[in-house]
Structure 1
Amino acid sequence: MTETPVFCLGGALLLCLTACAPALNWREVKPADAQGLVTMFPCKVDTAVRRLVMPGLEGEAVDLHVLSCQAGGMTWALSHLDAGTPQRLTQVLPALDQALWRNLAPSPNQQAQRQDLGPTRIKGADSHAASRHWLLQGHRPVSTTRVEPVQVTTWTFARGLTAFQASVWKNNTDGALLVDDPAAEAFVQGFNFPR
């Protein structure tokens, strides 16, 4: 994405069109400890912070901030954490992707299907080779004995030493999550770091 007036107009138009869907009630969200990120969510978010050791990330445990909500038959989410150092930042972006792939694997011996859709472009985010946009197909647990098929589109990006992962989840039984889903596009285009 570029910061041209055409992009801003296109993003605003897309947001207005998807806002007409009665299930989506877009609102501005400014997550805490997120480098000034401003987002648009289509529902009221719940927030949580989890302390965890992330596979693929050297050093001490991190605080993972999670915002999420459900609307329009989809789950909308944003996770972010402070990597602490530039070296850990280069590790954490792919580690976030790999953690999601593992979580969506239908079994320990299988992998979630994934399609690399290219670099993530968020207005005001830093440029990183590991900032990627993915479309994933896999399974998520709904109980200790049952899983359900799910599709996820996800974006990883960074600003300063903070790493982010935004995602939209949709059960396969509710229809396909398209690469260019208008609501998902409105979601990610609503992310920006005001200068």
Structure 2
Amino acid sequence: MKKSWWSIGAWTLSIVGCLALVACSPALDWRSVRPEHAPALQAVFPCKPKQVDRSLTLPALPGPPVTMHLVSCKVGESIWALSYFDAQEITRVPLALAADNRALRDNLEAVSRLGSPPAVATVSAEDLGPAQVIGMTPNALSRHWRLVGRRPAGNGESAPVEVHAWHFSHGLMVYQASLWRPMPPASAKDSTDSVETFIQGFKFSD
């Protein structure tokens, strides 16, 4: 059965749900990673990531389904993730980037409603400027977002969550790197270092 664009939100729900279940383990063990089916991309993760692939139909994109790849891992109460797919045609790349930017906020709003009344399920979104990834294909829709919402915390309660997300492309491949973590972070320095180390580790070799 084909999946809709909203099915990408199911992965988001799963990622955020994990935040309420994992034990605290703050040590970060950064290592270089070469994600499968991601030509020329090198990334860094602070833990050993796992990969899941699924076929999705994207209503925001005309044409056939795509294979969505998700690489992610967790340390303590934070999740590092990279999702990506082949847009298949150059004209679909800007459409995919625009849809990806909006879908993340929509999905986070849906997650927020799970743990609080809809009236207070608000998400703040801050555009931090162009995504900066070495070797990426330039595109005005390649952005770095910081979003703050809420996550389910069990027993009908919710807790604040911060998401940093970078949307970018390389050729026909469209990427979203993201860092999900509880609010407030352990410290301002740890917060800044984690964000910068993660995104600065992404680069394309051609």
Is this a same-fold pair by TM over 0.5?
A: yes
Instruction: Compute the displacement of 1:73 (Å).
Output: 3.2
CA 1:142–1:177: 2 relative to 1, 3 Å:
farther
Share of identical aligned residues, percent? 39
TM-score by length of 2: 0.76
- Farther off after superposition, 49-58 or 149-158: 49-58
Which residue of 176, 180, 187 maps to 1:169? 180
Provide the rounded CA distance (Å) in 2 between the counterparts of 1:176 and 1:115. Answer: 20
Provide the rounded CA distance (Å) in 1 between the counterparts of 2:151 and 2:98. Answer: 20
Runs of 4+ in 1 over 6 A off after TM superposition: none
- Aligned twin of 1:61: 65
Provide the rounded CA distance (Å) in 2 between the counterparts of 1:95 and 1:147. Answer: 27
CA 1:54–1:148: 2 relative to 1, 3 Å:
farther
- Aligned twin of 1:16: none
Which residue of 115, 120, 134 maps to 2:145? 134
Query: 8 Å contact 1:104–1:111 — kept in the other structure?
Result: no
1:79 paired to 2:83 = yes
What amino acid is aligned across from residue 135 of structure 1 in structure 2?
R
Which residue of 180, 186, 190 maps to 2:197? 186
Query: 8 Å contact 1:97–1:156 — kept in the other structure?
Result: yes
Which residue of 42, 48, 55 maps to 2:52? 48
> Gaps spanning 5+ residues in structure 1: where?
1-20
Secondary structure of the structure 2 residue equivalent to 1:125 = coil
Instruction: Compute the displacement of 1:131 (Å).
Output: 0.2
**Per-residue displacement from partner, 1:157-182 (whole Å, max 9, x unpaired)?**
0000000000001112655888x711
- Aligned twin of 2:5: none
